[in-house]
Amino acid sequence: MPGSASERPVNLKAQLRRTERRRKLEAAALVAPLFVFLAVFFLAPIGLMLVRSVDNSELPSVMPDTAAALRAWDGAGLPPEEAFAAFARELAAGQRDRSLSGVAKRLTYEIPNMRSVLFATARGLPDTPDGTWRQTLTARNPAWGEPETWAVMRRAAAPVTPYYLLAAVDREIDASGSVVRVSADRAIYVDIFARTFWIAAVVTAWCLALGYPLAYKLASLPPRVSNLLMILVLLPFWTSILVRTGAWVVLLQREGPINEALQWIGLIGEPIQLVYNRVGVYVAMVHILLPFMVLPLYSVMRGISPVYVRAATSLGATPFTAFRRVYLPQTVPGVGAGCLLVFILGVGYYITPALVGGAGDQMVSYFVAFFTNQTINWGMAAALGSVLLMATLLLYWVYARLVGVDRMRMG
Amino acid sequence: MRSILNLPPHATPAQRAWHVGLWAITVLVLGFLVLPILVIVPLSFSSGSFLNFPLPGLSLRWYQELLESERWLSSLRNSVVVACAATLLATVLGTLAALGLQRASFPGRSLLLALVISPMVVPLVIVAVGVYFFYAPLGLTGSLVGLTLAHTALAVPFVVITVSATLQGFDANLSRAAASLGADPATSFFRITLPIILPGVVSGALFAFVTSFDEVVVALFLTGPQERTLPRQMFDGIRENISPVIAAAATLLIVLSVLLMTVMEALRRRGERLRGIR
């Protein structure tokens, strides 16, 4: 209807708005399937992990009445008699249906011998008290007369706990309720986080040191040659991480080619330990992450016109000055993108340190896996994972602000 | 030599040293990148049982052992099944999303994009632990379905990124022309848009395939002995006792990566050529 628009010109705007709205709806409908998929199979699992890091349901689920009584108690001195009575009843019930071990496990995180205290008290507990329940329990084990024990019990009775998250940064809540550092012999996690960031930083620095000149040279070659050499960067990028890690184990072993070569040159007399230590971790991680540095650097350097450097030299700058004052600043976006990407990926590494590192080279990821699979301390696994996730998301946010997520490109 | 160095005849000694030095660094770094991968290939043909040089002799015994081992074959089968299923899902979901993200700006677009890309940056252990907790009550641990779903989420960002990159070079007027000639949106997509962005879709699918085929951390958490994947089998092999069988498996994987890389390079060239004539 070509005539209708001129007859009612106001409608043009409305029509445009309608079209615009339809386009937006179409776009949303196209994105929706992926969004729903990621919400269910990616966001929900991670959300659940975050919840696990504060989850404290072990005691409340097995001893609901004790938990309620302890929550009602003000926390000063010893709890009232009804808490002792509820505890005695639920302790005996827990012993009968074997549900006590979850509670025992939760309590041993804070008081190491609580497992034996709990089971010794529960074994053959009478149905009726000998005097009050408080007297009965304290007579069976003096720990039940200690306010300290009940302070821990009260913390275990709350539905959520900051315990794991605090422990992940070597902090705990003391008897007076304030947050303090844990004793030096138990403080290990801050060191592990520091080690993780340090390893990632060293790897990033090495990748930049090796990647910058390589990308610079590749970008200055004619496209035909640089495309050919680029294949040598892309081959490791496309090769399985396990193949590359395995290759380094072979190369760096005591009888491996590198030790043999060093002995042959006469640099060393005896084979030296190059793998299952920090050297192995650095070498293998730099090898695996280097392409992630070279690719963004290369794409930025390709876009830099040689005219500016030529102009600088023609105005009398030495080649070094021209590089430092004219070329280098133009590559900063590539340096930022590469360093952030390598650092973000490096912080989360698990496989490579697990295969080529020693006991002192394991990163946070290793401990997350360790607590999940080996000691089944899921609260601690989730707490370490949450702290690591926060650090990663913070870096990702910086990356998105500085580089832009849509600039992330592979290959 | 002069032609490689590409130096003017009047270059100063310092400039010559700089050029030679830069070439030396380039060659060394490229060697560092490629040689470790190539070193493993001859070791897989060793007739001895140790992974060191010089080789005592050549033989195919480790390949024979690999191809006759039920453990390796079943893990290969599992990996192929999971990678194909994850690729299919990720490619369909990712391509649709890339088309949607490119169309009109809507509120929260950049946040949505950040979410879509995030599986690439979140540490794998975190994804693995989260998925492990999430799947356990649903009975999805120890199943290839569960692993496929997790791998799809990890592979999707690569599809969205590559397809989006191809869409940036896509001339929207072509779709408009199709629509003006009476094509409905579906016809216009399958006859016009898809053939043009196909190289991007295929590259995205290859990235997705490799992501799943190479993924081991989530597999470590989700799979039992029945659902063992190839990377998981390699991981155990490297950790427990690294033998020439691992070298043989690694060599086959290197051949696969060379093949995939060749396809990617061909697609990239084709893409450049198409953009050249546009």
Name every chain B residue with its beta carbon within 8 A of the beta carbon of A31.
96-97, 100-101, 112
For residue A192, give the H/E element and its range.
Answer: helix A189-220
Q: pLDDT tens across B89-130, in order?
A: 999 999 999 998 887 677 778 888 889 989 988 999 999 999
Segment B142-191, tens digit of pLDDT: 889 999 999 999 999 999 998 988 888 777 788 888 888 888 888 888 88
B138: which DSSP letter? G
The predicted-structure confidence for B220-269, as pLDDT tens digits, reads as follows 998 888 888 999 999 988 888 788 888 899 999 999 989 988 888 888 77
Q: Do A24 and B104 touch (CB under 8 A)?
A: yes
**Which neighbouring-strand residues pair with A172?**
A180
> Cβ contacts (< 8 Å) between A399 and chain B: which residues?
121
Q: At what angle do helices B124-135 and A364-373 cross, to 10 degrees?
A: 20
**Three-state DSSP class for A92?**
helix
Mean pLDDT of B206-216: 93
| Residue A319 · residue B22 · CB < 8 Å | no
Secondary structure tally for chain B: helices H, strands E = 13, 0
Pairing of strands A171-173, A179-181: antiparallel
A184: tokens are 């030096």
The interface residues of chain B toward chain A in range 47-106, judged by CB-CB distance below 8 A, are 50-53, 89, 93-94, 96-97, 99-101, 103-104, 106
The CA distances from residue B42 to B36, B127, B188, in Å, are 12, 37, 51
pLDDT in tens, A323-370: 889 999 999 989 998 999 999 999 999 999 999 998 889 999 999 999
Listed as ranges, residues in chain A with pLDDT below 70 are: 1-10, 406-411
Task: Please report the pLDDT score of residue B34 as a whole number.
Answer: 93
Beta strands in A144-244 (DSSP E): 171-173, 179-181
DSSP-assigned letter for residue A275: S
Residues in Cβ contact with A361 at an 8 Å cutoff, skipping those fewer than 6 apart: A195, A199, A277, A278, A280, A281, A353
B 191-210: CB under 8 A from A? 203, 207, 210
> Is the Cα dihedral A272, A293, B202, B122 positive or negative?
positive
A358 has a chain B CB within 8 A of its CB = no
- Confidence (pLDDT) at A411: 41
Nearest 5°: CA angle at B228, between B223 and B234?
120
Token output for B94: 């990712």
Please state the φ and ψ torsions of residue B46, each to the nearest 5 degrees.
Answer: -70, 145
Please report the pLDDT score of residue B12 as a whole number: 78
Secondary structure (3-state) at A354: helix
pLDDT tens, residue by residue, A95-143:
888 888 888 888 888 888 888 888 888 887 888 887 888 888 888 888 8
Residues of A in contact with B242 (CB under 8 A): 246, 249-250
Q: Which residues does chain A have within 8 Å of residue B239's beta carbon, measured at their own beta carbons?
A: 354-355
Structure tokens at A215: 């990308």
d(CA A136, CA A129): 6
